[in-house]
Structure 1
Amino acid sequence: MSQEPIESVRYLFSSDDGPSAEFDVHRMHLVEALDTPFELMLELVTSDVEAATDEFLGAACTVEITRGERTRFVYGICDRVDYLGASDEQLLVNIRVVPAFALMAHEVRSRIFQDMSVLDIVAAVLGDGLGVYGRTSDPGGSSRGTAVRDYCVQYRESDFDFVARLLEEEGISYHFVHDDAKGHEVLTFAYENADYPDIANVDGSSLVPIVPVTNDLHDVESLVGLDWRRLTTSTATKHMDFDWKAPSAPLFSEATGEDERGRIRRVYRHDQRRFIEDDGVDRATEHRDAMTVAGKVARGSGNVITFLPGSVFELERHQRADLEGKYVITRVEHRGSCPEVLHSNRDRPVDNRQRYMNTFSCVPMAATLRPLRQRPKPRAYGPETATVVGSEEIHVDEHGRIKVQFHWEEDAKRDETSSCWVRVRQNWAGSGWGFQFIPRQGMEVVVEFLGGNPDRPLVNGCVYNGDNAYPYGMPGEKTKSAIKSHSVGGDGFNEIRFEDASGSEEFFVHAQKDMNTVVLNNQTLDVGVDRTITIHANLKDAITKNKTIEVGGDHTETIEGNMKLSVTKNQSVKVTQDVSETISGKRTTAISKTAKLNVTLASDEFVGLKKSVKVGGLYSEQVGASRSITAVGAMSFTAGLSGKLQCARNIMVKAQKELQLVGDTDVGMKSGKKMAINAGDDFGIKGDKKGSIELTDEVVLKCGDASLTMKKDGTIVLKGKDVTVQGSGKIAVKADGDVKVSGSKVSAN
């Protein structure tokens, strides 16, 4: 033990923008911890009983804790003042001093950060929140928090809670460095234990011995004692998430571990994903480390004024040698008093042991310090609405996601940067099939958040509002239900509408331009009454197989232009009753092969002017009964080769005047049995050259009572009343047999 004990602690209070009166510190109580704003409670005394103590509120305050030549500063802002009243010509007041960071708890916002890292987001928030108080922050050399988050929401959350939560999520610890050069506390970040500085004892080293009693008489600051606590904790973590871009691939990460007995106690978390690319393994490890660090904690008390969270000391002279070594301080509670500043204590002896004492918690330097996630993420349960925004009417990405503007955002931009890409719920969503309705700019959509997480919005539907009214006015058109779209860049629309008013039911379809229907199998259309189709341009039916049309009543077709019917194979038309066909102009029928017309009863054909029938080959006509051809004018039959007129029984060729049979070469008439040629008047047979009449049995030429009969045996009989044989030349009568001339009188010249 040194003959020169350490000096006692002195306290000095100052506030440049507080009350003008001078105040002394009567009592001091300071609580500091990693990842927590410190709280300094001061009981101050002044001889100015009229001092304006309310001026402390919001004022920057400084407490200097001095031992010898070493001074530890505590800077902060007064956020509470308790006026205790005057006694013994002194005014007593209690004030609370906190870091400016803690005052950011009074700033509550809802806002969105996009495509920024956590460190950038935190810097932006702290820049405004701390700058008001002239304070700064120091991100240190942390490698964490540099990954860019595509979307991060501060939702009904104070600036303080928002920053603290983000740091916890990234595994970044924070503490306060009271910088005398800057004259204020600096919010400082740390990720590795190596980021923490060593404390400085009165001898300049970081060694702190244990001195169980009268440690105020020792030559260095020391500890009264140090307790060692072991605690059962979780040893492993597993995180499970869902990646909608790869839904069939499980997205999980885990950090394993076990206790000294080989037992595993695992914490399972799910739906923690926040980024497009998430470093899940690191986060699972940080989660495990944050839980397990509480399993090995040392607690002690002493008089080292430079003990503060985020500092390192080296323990020596412990009864357990295995506990000696370096520790990182996680929490310190300082208590101090100066009883002599009260008039009532002037004559009382001072106990230096009461002037300063602290209790603290620490962990071995080898432990991995990570902040435990204490601040819950704000949740947004239940639906809310937002407005669709974008650079065009349908602003969408390759996944069908849209951008929205939330009504609660304070500094709304109302453009395509207002939110992240938000997925849209559809009634069906299969692989290349389902519903596809994309909300458009200006629509009010209903948004819900997966798991209540504001970072994970999902559009759940649309609602009408004062700007976007129903397609049909309410309540007058309340019986109508419709799906009605709007042409992009135009005023057109497509629509499917249902009218459910009793007696006026209707199913209505409107296609602004084209309407295409594809039926891979059968289609049945049943119309109870009438059907009207109006086509303002062309109609084309393409049927690869058969077509059947059944009309129960009349069928009327009116064609103002031309009609063309093309049948590749056969055409059959069956009419049970009559067919009437009227052609105002010409008619042309071209048949490549044969044609057949079958009329069961009668057939009447009327040609007003001229009819021409031309047959390239044979022409055959068969009439089951009689046939009559009447030509009012001339009638001509012409055959390029032979011609034949044949009847099973009788045939008659009759002319009212003259009948001629003319052959350019020969004319022949033949009868299977009898042949008769009758003339009502004269009859003549004439030939320019030779003539021949030949019969097999007998031929008779008869005129009245005169006749000439020739038989096949050669007999010729000429009968008449008077017979004259006259020749302009000679007449010779020659017979192989007898010549007999007989008469009542025979004369010879």
Structure 2
Amino acid sequence: MSSNPLNAISVQRRAVTVSSAAIPRWPAQSADGLTQPALQFMSLEGDESLGKLFEYELLLRTPDDYTVPLAVSANLDLKALLGKEMTVAIDLEPSADPEAAQREITGLVAAAQYLRREGRYNVYRVVLKPWLWLATLTTDYKIFQNKTVIEIIDEVLKDYPYPVEKRVDVSRYALDGESPTNEPRAFQVQYGETDYHFIQRLMEEWGIYWFFEHADGKHRLVLCDHIGAHRQSPNSAYRTLAFQPQNGKTDTEYISAFSTAEVLCTGHYVTSDFDFTRSRADMRAINQQPRDTSWNLLERYDWPGDYTDSSHGELLARTRMEELRATGTRAQGKGNVRGLACGQTFVLTHYDYTAANCEYLVIGTELHLSGTPDESGSGYEYTCSNKFDVQPTSEVFRLPRETSKPIVSGPQSAVVVGPEGKELWTDEFGRVKVRFAWDRYGRNVETDSCWVRVSQAWAGQGFGGIYIPRIGQEVIVDFWNGDPDRPLITGSLYNTVTRPPYALPGNATQSGFMSRSMEGGLQNYNSIRFEDKAGAEEFTVQAERDMNRLTKLNESHVVGADYTIGVAAAHSMNVGAASSTVVGGKYSVRVKDVASYSVGLGQFVSIGGLEETAVGGASTLTVGGARTVTVGGASTHAVGGAYSLSAGGVLSIVCGKSSLTMNKDGEIKLIGKSIRIQGDTRVVVQGTPLDLNPGDMECGSAVTVPVPVVVLDALDVPIIPPPPSEEPLPTVDPLPTVDPLPTEEPLPSEEPLPSEEPPPSEEPPPSEEPPPSEEPPPSEEPLPSEEPLPSEEPLPSEEPPPSEEPPPSEEPPPSEEPPPSEEPPPSEEPPPPTETPPVTGTDA
């Protein structure tokens, strides 16, 4: 506002009155029963500008009425005036429209003060402010989501019961052929601001400004963003005003002083921002409106531009450019023009600077009114001085951005929220919604905030870490550049509701990570835990259900001590190439059910020491090709039941220079240095003729003797004791050297082994089973001629196999008996030849 010293212009016989429902009324001095207000106008001064709260200071006096004692008029109820509307009515130049004959200035009484006594009057001071000033008395923390700027302003102002008119040009929001719309803001926060400062900074940012129109005892807030929202004075006398230097006249209104100015300003504005949903997009917005001056393309660059949508960026860039350009042409003036009000337009004429004779918008006024009754008491004299600032209507008016946006000074705490009944609520970017500790309007639901991004330890193209906060968790929220409209979750916190997974401080040496199964309990989780207590260090991994591990190349495991694997169900291992297992000590495998072992090619087993195989039931070995068994020492076969040996081709037994050869055609060849056949009961030789030393058998000369079947009694056959040198028992017996049980068996606590079976003394030894001697003796068998030949005998499979003997529970099978080392020594058994004659006789 200009402060040039100009003389005030005196205007006579123009009434100024004050009215308010809060001003008490007193009886008038006349006898007609009329009343008069207890306060009357003395003077007014104040200023009013576009986009600013006006303030007028009134001096009021009590009437000159002897019927009202000064002690009474000095004690008006000041509190009764506060917050009430008061109107000052100023008479204007005569007009054809009776409603345009006065100018009103209405406001709320923001302050009332008793000043002094002056003669027969008591003087009071009253300050008038607009009802919007009430919005400066409140502060709030409130979130607005998916609302346009106009909708946010409406929501804030709905708490104030005063008139608002919106003269907003929606077409200025139509960009690139889009439909006219004021696009919504996803998230806008009133952060500790008064209602006034909150909507003021929004309007400054988006190019909206406002002023008040005074009429009918009210003052109406007008929101606008274009020059077409402004009107001329209702009184035609103030629509065109002439410039006239002060000439001493007192009965007309005119502009007595005027000056115009041009200011150099930039004409190029650039801004930009970042949108993570289009992280590689160029978000720059550029607007150029250079004036016809030099240095008109100096660039102003701002960041961040407070937008994530390109159309918003274009609109904001244009608004900023209009703001910078608006101060290029301004003018100031002064005169006794009582009816010239802020927000009106008029045309200036008769000014010496020809280019200044144009239409102007009044962007600010400073009004001074003072007066006293004339000496006759029939009139009222007052002086009027009105200073004003104007801008040509050819330029767009924009408020300068003087209301700063709050800056959040540090991180805050919030709780993750979501729909009722959900434990986790997120979107495609892993964002969540929160309720801030200061949000008193939140309901702990998904509408309490916008989607908030969550900081991760590592984030890349399809790789990195991901931890999504769940509903009810307390999180740490920071803000981009301190902007309350751009929250960011940077971490999580424990509290009395969400406690650490490990009880503290007892488990202070434990660290790690524990998840929680959805809709699960305290025992349902996946976890990785580190125990760092000295001497009890431990690394623990738990998979609540399935665990899958993929190693695309090599994997190594080194275990310094024991290694245990427990599998409750099936266990499968698939090795695509070679597999090697090296055991430095004992190795034990126990299969409770059937075990299957398949080798696609050859198998090579090398055992550096002893080997023992115990089979609880039947045992079958099938070899598809040749099989060779080489025993470097003694070999013993002990069969508790029948024993059958079948060969599809030649069967040979070779012992030094002795041999027994049988072929599938029924030929048997027994070769030895000496051959002895001994039968304790009898010897049967069947077959004719009997060849002795036949030449065709490479046995020398042949003699053929027909021999009938002769049965020799045992008494006729001399028993020749075997020579000591040919006794095989001392050399065949492997018992003293083969027994591995005392040193090679696993501990009884690991698994039941044959050593844990009933001792040999408790189970019938092989000698107690039905011995071959209990079978019908040869004398009871059919005659040799009736017996089947060896080739016609039933195969061993037709004889009762060992599996048909009593089950292990009743009598352990021979395979579960102790090894030969635990059988009775050879001296306690009959000589082997006497133990098996029936078997060999059958095989023969």
What TM-score range do you get, normalising by the shorter chain? 0.7 to 0.9
**Counterparts of 1:419 and 1:368, CA distance in 2:** 36
> Could you report, residue by residue, the CA deviation over 1:216-272 in whole angstroms, capped at 9, with x for unpaired residues?
5465x3211221122232322111101101111221101124451254222211123
Which amino acid in 2 is paired with 1:370?
R
**Counterparts of 1:628 and 1:51, CA distance in 2:** 148
Match of 2:62 in 1: 46
Match of 2:486 in 1: 456
Contact (CA 8 Å) 1:10, 1:66: kept in 2 or not?
yes
Structure 1 or 2, whichever has the larger Rg, is 1
Q: Give the 3-state SS of the residue equivalent to 1:81 in structure 2.
A: strand
Match of 2:829 in 1: none
Q: Give the 3-state SS of the residue equivalent to 2:152 in structure 1.
A: helix
Match of 1:744 in 2: none
> Could you report, residue by residue, the CA deviation over 1:22-81 in whole angstroms, capped at 9, with x for unpaired residues?
222222112111111111111222242332334322221111122244211111111122
After TM superposition, list the pairs within 5 Å mapping 1:298-309 onto structure 2. 298-309=331-342
Structure number having the greater helix percentage: 2
Cα distance, 1:536 vs structure 2: 1.3
Contact (CA 8 Å) 1:108, 1:158: kept in 2 or not?
yes
Which amino acid in 1 is paired with 2:512?
A
Match of 1:415 in 2: 445
1:192 pairs with one of 198, 218, 226: 226
Cα distance, 1:596 vs structure 2: 3.2
> Could you report, residue by residue, the CA deviation over 1:82-117 in whole angstroms, capped at 9, with x for unpaired residues?
331222122222221111111111110001111211
Which amino acid in 2 is paired with 1:497?
R
Contact (CA 8 Å) 1:19, 1:53: kept in 2 or not?
no
Match of 1:739 in 2: none
Match of 1:641 in 2: 665
Contact (CA 8 Å) 2:657, 2:673: kept in 1 or not?
no
Match of 1:727 in 2: none
Cα distance, 1:651 vs structure 2: 7.4
Which amino acid in 2 is paired with 1:537?
A
1:279 has 2:312 as partner: yes
After TM superposition, list the pairs within 5 Å mapping 1:233-312 onto structure 2. 233-259=265-291, 260-274=293-307, 278-312=311-345
**Counterparts of 2:117 and 2:441, CA distance in 1:** 49
2:365 pairs with one of 318, 332, 336: 332
Q: Give the 3-state SS of the residue equivalent to 1:162 in structure 2.
A: helix
Contact (CA 8 Å) 2:691, 2:705: kept in 1 or not?
no
So what's the TM-score if we normalise by structure 1?
Answer: 0.82
> Could you report, residue by residue, the CA deviation over 1:502-556 in whole angstroms, capped at 9, with x for unpaired residues?
1111111111111111111111111111122221111111111121111110011
Match of 1:76 in 2: 107
Contact (CA 8 Å) 1:149, 1:275: kept in 2 or not?
no
> Could you report, residue by residue, the CA deviation over 1:534-589 in whole angstroms, capped at 9, with x for unpaired residues?
21111111111121111110011111111111111221111011110010101122
- The structure-2 alpha-carbon separation of the partners of 1:570 and 1:206, relative to structure 1 and needing over 3 Å to count, comes to same
**Counterparts of 2:355 and 2:229, CA distance in 1:** 24
Match of 1:696 in 2: none
Q: Which moved more, 1:305-314 or 1:425-434?
A: 305-314
Residue identity (%): 26
Match of 1:161 in 2: 197
Contact (CA 8 Å) 1:333, 1:358: kept in 2 or not?
yes
2:400 pairs with one of 372, 381, 392: 372
Which amino acid in 1 is paired with 2:605?
V
- The structure-2 alpha-carbon separation of the partners of 1:640 and 1:327, relative to structure 1 and needing over 3 Å to count, comes to same
Which amino acid in 1 is paired with 2:43?
R
Contact (CA 8 Å) 1:49, 1:89: kept in 2 or not?
no
**RMSD of the alignment, in Å?**
3.0
1:531 pairs with one of 563, 588, 606: 563
**Counterparts of 2:487 and 2:348, CA distance in 1:** 51
Contact (CA 8 Å) 2:12, 2:380: kept in 1 or not?
no
After TM superposition, list the pairs within 5 Å mapping 1:11-30 onto structure 2. 11-20=16-25, 22-30=38-46
After TM superposition, list the pairs within 5 Å mapping 1:211-222 onto structure 2. 211-214=244-247, 217=250, 219=252, 221-222=253-254
Q: Flag structure 1 segments of 5+ consecutive residues without an equivalent.
A: 630-636, 689-749
**Counterparts of 1:162 and 1:78, CA distance in 2:** 23
> Could you report, residue by residue, the CA deviation over 1:603-646 in whole angstroms, capped at 9, with x for unpaired residues?
33333223334455x456575847789xxxxxxx9744364648
- The structure-2 alpha-carbon separation of the partners of 1:193 and 1:658, relative to structure 1 and needing over 3 Å to count, comes to same
- The structure-2 alpha-carbon separation of the partners of 1:665 and 1:451, relative to structure 1 and needing over 3 Å to count, comes to farther
- The structure-2 alpha-carbon separation of the partners of 1:627 and 1:255, relative to structure 1 and needing over 3 Å to count, comes to farther
Contact (CA 8 Å) 2:336, 2:384: kept in 1 or not?
yes
Which amino acid in 2 is paired with 1:115?
N
**Counterparts of 1:421 and 1:41, CA distance in 2:** 49
Q: Give the 3-state SS of the residue equivalent to 1:251 in structure 2.
A: coil
Cα distance, 1:501 vs structure 2: 1.1
**Counterparts of 1:289 and 1:627, CA distance in 2:** 124
Aligned residues: 658
- The structure-2 alpha-carbon separation of the partners of 1:41 and 1:625, relative to structure 1 and needing over 3 Å to count, comes to farther
1:426 pairs with one of 442, 456, 459: 456
Contact (CA 8 Å) 2:662, 2:669: kept in 1 or not?
no
After TM superposition, list the pairs within 5 Å mapping 1:571-650 onto structure 2. 571-615=603-647, 618-619=649-650, 625=656, 639-641=663-665, 643=667, 645=669, 650=673
Contact (CA 8 Å) 1:387, 1:404: kept in 2 or not?
yes
Which amino acid in 2 is paired with 1:253?
A
Contact (CA 8 Å) 1:485, 1:494: kept in 2 or not?
yes
Q: Which moved more, 1:507-516 or 1:588-597?
A: 588-597
Cα distance, 1:273 vs structure 2: 2.8
Contact (CA 8 Å) 1:215, 1:223: kept in 2 or not?
no
Match of 2:436 in 1: 406
2:350 pairs with one of 317, 329, 333: 317
- The structure-2 alpha-carbon separation of the partners of 1:595 and 1:248, relative to structure 1 and needing over 3 Å to count, comes to farther
Q: Flag structure 2 segments of 5+ consecutive residues without an equivalent.
A: 1-9, 26-36, 64-72, 95-100, 174-180, 710-844
- The structure-2 alpha-carbon separation of the partners of 1:615 and 1:318, relative to structure 1 and needing over 3 Å to count, comes to farther
Contact (CA 8 Å) 1:312, 1:328: kept in 2 or not?
yes
Cα distance, 1:650 vs structure 2: 4.6
Cα distance, 1:372 vs structure 2: 1.8
1:97 pairs with one of 128, 135, 142: 128
1:520 has 2:520 as partner: no
**Counterparts of 1:627 and 1:38, CA distance in 2:** 136
**Counterparts of 2:544 and 2:147, CA distance in 1:** 45
> Could you report, residue by residue, the CA deviation over 1:449-471 in whole angstroms, capped at 9, with x for unpaired residues?
11111111111111011111111
Contact (CA 8 Å) 2:364, 2:389: kept in 1 or not?
yes
Contact (CA 8 Å) 2:695, 2:702: kept in 1 or not?
no
So what's the TM-score if we normalise by structure 2?
Answer: 0.73
**Counterparts of 2:312 and 2:234, CA distance in 1:** 38
